[in-house]
Structure 1
């Protein structure tokens, strides 16, 4: 299993709205086209209207690489980048969990 958390800071409220629209589209595409992406959860941050957080879990590093190279993801990155004032990526070493079938991964 391979996992990460990404925090995005949008430039302003209009950028945040556009970011959310792009996110809705790419999450649907990820759901339909990426069997190796096990969890792709997005969230707004309470009390921080310009912040968004993604929690991503992949079957393995190869599934993550396939995700990063997919056309729909590359398009998402190109279209979202101008909307952002900052990004922070944290790669995780998953431990005990509820909701992940550890024997299957």
Structure 2
């Protein structure tokens, strides 16, 4: 399993709204076209209206690479960049977990 967390900080409220529209579109494609993507969860951050956090879990690094090179993801990355003031990516190492 391979996982990461990405924080996006949008430039302003208009950019955040456009970012959310792009996110809705790409998440649909990810769900439809990426069997190696196990979890792709997007979140707004409470009390930070310009911040978004994505939690992503892939079957393995190859599935992550397939995700990164998929046409819909490449298009998303190109379209989102002008909307952002900053991005932070954290790659995760597995630890203890529970399933409920």
Aligned to 1:98: 98
How many pairs were matched up? 100
In 2, Cα distance between equivalents of 1:51 and 1:22: 15
Aligned to 2:3: 3
Aligned to 1:42: 42
Q: How far 1:95 moved relative to its partner?
A: 1.4
Aligned to 2:67, the other structure's residue is in SS state helix
Normalising by structure 1, we get a TM-score of 0.93
In 2, Cα distance between equivalents of 1:99 and 1:18: 34
Residues 76 and 48 from structure 1, CA distance in 2 versus in 1: closer, same or farther, beyond 3 angstroms? same
Normalising by structure 2, we get a TM-score of 0.97
Alpha-carbon RMSD across the aligned residues, in angstroms, is 1.1
Aligned to 1:103: none
Residues 28-58 of structure 1 show CA distances to partners (whole Å, capped at 9, x for unaligned) of 0000000000000000000000000000000
Aligned to 2:57: 57
In 2, Cα distance between equivalents of 1:99 and 1:31: 21
Aligned to 1:86: 86
Q: How far 1:97 moved relative to its partner?
A: 2.0
In 2, Cα distance between equivalents of 1:94 and 1:47: 29
Aligned to 2:71: 71
Q: Which structure 2 residue ranges, 5 or more long, are not aligned?
A: none
